[in-house]
């Protein structure tokens, strides 16, 4: 996903909450760098625990964008019902991802 932030940034730009100052593209690129960095840290055994902490921070950091995407999709009468359901289901799925990241961080 980190690579997609650079290859196809427009969808990511759209979910940057408008309350954040500055250009959405800067947030798109920064989160892409963060995702690639976290993936690298998780892949290297020596930095895996750090990668777990970084992943947990990343999941928390991008959660406002997930909420923004949900608000935008659910509020769009043209969005298909199945897509709305998928976007809504995605929010609570962040919890097990965060728990898994914390397990890695704690060496479990």
- The domain locations on the chain are 4-105
pLDDT at 108: 80
pLDDT at 48: 97
Distance linking the first and last C-alpha atoms of the chain? 25
State the Cα torsion 88-90-96-101 to the nearest 10°.
-140
* Tens of pLDDT, residue by residue, the chain (108 residues): 999 999 999 999 999 999 999 999 999 999 999 999 999 999 999 999 999 999 999 999 999 999 999 999 999 999 999 999 999 999 999 999 999 999 999 998
CB-based contact 60:46 (threshold 8 Å): no
**Which residue do the tokens 């919890």 mark?**
95
This prediction's pTM: 0.88
For residues 49-83, one letter each, b for 16 or more C-beta atoms within 10 angstroms of the residue's C-beta and e for the rest, the string is: eebbbbbbebbeebeebbebbbeebeeeeeeeeee
């Amino acid at each position: 996903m980190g690579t997609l932030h650079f290859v196809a940034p427009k969808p990511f730009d759209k979910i940057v909450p408008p309350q954040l100052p500055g250009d959405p593209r800067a947030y798109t690129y920064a989160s892409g760098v963060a995702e690639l960095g976290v993936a690298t840290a998780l892949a290297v055994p020596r930095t895996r625990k750090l990668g777990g902490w970084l992943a947990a921070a990343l999941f928390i950091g991008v959660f406002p964008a997930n909420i923004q995407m949900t608000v935008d999709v659910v509020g769009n009468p043209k969005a298909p019902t199945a897509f709305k359901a998928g976007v809504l289901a995605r929010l609570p799925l962040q919890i097990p991802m965060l728990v898994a990241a914390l397990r890695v961080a704690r060496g479990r």
